C-alpha cells in the first residue's frame, strides 16, 4: 500500500517561505540583496568583456578568472531573482521539477566555484615556482581540459541529488523555510528515510570541498616555501602580491560555506534559522559581488585596462588588436 500511495506524496509545487521569522523585514532585506546582485552582474560581465577585449589579458590567470566570473554569474542568478520575487511580489510558489532544477544549478556551480579557486591556486603555484615553464605547462588546451573536467565533476556528483530527492515521499507539507531549493532543506520535508541523502551530501562535500581545500593548502605551502627562499625583498613582495586577490576570493567563498555546512549538520538547534538563511544567501552573493572588485583593485593589468577604457585612451584599440 505504501508503494501505491508513494506517487501521491510528491507535491506539485513547494512554497519558499523566504527568511523565517523576518517576514516583516523582507522588503528591507531585499535592498542589500538587490544591490549586491546588481554589482555582481555588472562587475562579472564587465570582467568577462574586458578579458575578451584586451589581448594583454589573454593569459592563463585571466582565463581562470573568466571561468570564475562565468560561474559567479550563473551561481547567483539561479537563486537571487527568485528570492527578490518572494520579497517584492510574494511569489513564493515553485514547481517541484523547477525546484529540482534550481537545486542542481545551485550545488553544481557552488562546486564549480570551489574547483575554479583550486585551479587558480595551481596556476599561482606554477607561475611562482616554475616561471620559465609557465606558458608551456598551462597552454590553452590544458586550461580548457581542466576547466571542463571541473565542470563535469560538479555535474556528475550533483545529478544524484535530484534523483535521491525525487524518490522521497513528502508528507510533512510543502513549505520550505528558505529563499531557494537547497538539497537538505527539501529533503527534511520528507517523511521517508533521508539517511542516504545525508551520507551522500557529506561525501560530495568531502570530494569537492575537501579535495579542493587540500590542493589549495598544498599549493600555497609550496608557494610560501618558494617565496621565502627568494633573496630579494622586492621579489618576495611581488610574488606575494600576485596571490593577494586569490586569497581574498578564497576567504569570501569558503567562510560562509563552512558556516552553512556545519549549521546543517551540527548547529540547527543552536542558531536561529533566519541567521542560517541569510548566511546561505550571502554565500551565493558575496563571492560574485566581491571577486570583480578585489581583482579590479589588486590586479595591476586589469586596473590599467579599466583606467584606459574610462579615460577614453586611444591605446585601447592597439591593445585589443
Q: Supply the pLDDT for residue 298.
A: 84
Which cell is 288 given?
A: 560574485
Q: What is the pLDDT confidence band of residue 317, given thresholds at 50, 70 and 90?
A: very low
Q: What is the pLDDT confidence band of residue 93, given thresholds at 50, 70 and 90?
A: very high
Alpha-carbon distance of 261 to 272, in angstroms, equals 15
Q: Supply the pLDDT for residue 263.
A: 67
Kindly report the number of other CB atoms within 10 A of residue 50's CB atom.
22
CATH of the domain spanning 19-304:
1.20.1070.10
Which single residue is written with the C-alpha cell 546561505? 280
Considering only CA atoms, which of 16, 17, 18, 22 is closest in space to residue 272?
A: 22
Domain boundaries, the chain: 19-304
Alpha-carbon distance of 225 to 208, in angstroms, equals 26
How far CA 143 is from CA of 10, 99, 246, 251, 270, in Å, comes to 42, 33, 18, 24, 44
Which single residue is written with the C-alpha cell 519558499? 16
State the burial class of residue 285 (Cβ atoms within 10 Å of its Cβ: 0-12, 13-18, 19+). buried
Q: What is the pLDDT confidence band of residue 8, given thresholds at 50, 70 and 90?
A: low
In angstroms, how far is CA 260 from the centroid of its own chain? 13
- Residue 266 confidence (pLDDT) above 70: no
| pTM for this prediction | 0.89
In angstroms, how far is CA 115 from the centroid of its own chain? 9
Which cell is 107 given?
A: 550545488
Per the prediction, the chain carries an average pLDDT of: 87
Asked whether the beta carbons of 87 and 30 are under 8 A apart, the reply is: yes
Q: What is the pLDDT confidence band of residue 264, given thresholds at 50, 70 and 90?
A: low
Amino acid at each position: 500500500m505504501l508503494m501505491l500511495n508513494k506517487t501521491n506524496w510528491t507535491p506539485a509545487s513547494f512554497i519558499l517561505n523566504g527568511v523565517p521569522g523576518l517576514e516583516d523585514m523582507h522588503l528591507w532585506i531585499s535592498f542589500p540583496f538587490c544591490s549586491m546582485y546588481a554589482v555582481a552582474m555588472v562587475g562579472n560581465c564587465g570582467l568577462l568583456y574586458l578579458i575578451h577585449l584586451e589581448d594583454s589579458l589573454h593569459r592563463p590567470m585571466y582565463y581562470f578568472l573568466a571561468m570564475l566570473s562565468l560561474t559567479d554569474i550563473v551561481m547567483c542568478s539561479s537563486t537571487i531573482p527568485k528570492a527578490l520575487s518572494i520579497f517584492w511580489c510574494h511569489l513564493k510558489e515553485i514547481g517541484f521539477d523547477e525546484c529540482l532544477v534550481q537545486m542542481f544549478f545551485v550545488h553544481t556551480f557552488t562546486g564549480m566555484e570551489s574547483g575554479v579557486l583550486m585551479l587558480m591556486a595551481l596556476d599561482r603555484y606554477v607561475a611562482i615556482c616554475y616561471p620559465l615553464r609557465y606558458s608551456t605547462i598551462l597552454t590553452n588546451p590544458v586550461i580548457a581540459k581542466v576547466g571542463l573536467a571541473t565542470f563535469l565533476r560538479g555535474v556528475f556528483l550533483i545529478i544524484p541529488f535530484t534523483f535521491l530527492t525525487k524518490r522521497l515521499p513528502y508528507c510533512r507539507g510543502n513549505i520550505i523555510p528558505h529563499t531557494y531549493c537547497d538539497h537538505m532543506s527539501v529533503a527534511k520535508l520528507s517523511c521517508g528515510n533521508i539517511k542516504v541523502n545525508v551520507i551522500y551530501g557529506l561525501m560530495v562535500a568531502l570530494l569537492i570541498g575537501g579535495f579542493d581545500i587540500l590542493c589549495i593548502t598544498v599549493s600555497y605551502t609550496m608557494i610560501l616555501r618558494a617565496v621565502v627562499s627568494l633573496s630579494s625583498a622586492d621579489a618576495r613582495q611581488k610574488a606575494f602580491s600576485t596571490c593577494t586577490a586569490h586569497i581574498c576570493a578564497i576567504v569570501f567563498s569558503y567562510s560562509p560555506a563552512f558556516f552553512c555546512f556545519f549549521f546543517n549538520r551540527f548547529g540547527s538547534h543552536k542558531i536561529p534559522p533566519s541567521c542560517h538563511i541569510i548566511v546561505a544567501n550571502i554565500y551565493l552573493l558575496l563571492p560574485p559581488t566581491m571577486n570583480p572588485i578585489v581583482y579590479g583593485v589588486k590586479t595591476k593589468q586589469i586596473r590599467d585596462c579599466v583606467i584606459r577604457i574610462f579615460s577614453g585612451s586611444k591605446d585601447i584599440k592597439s591593445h585589443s588588436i
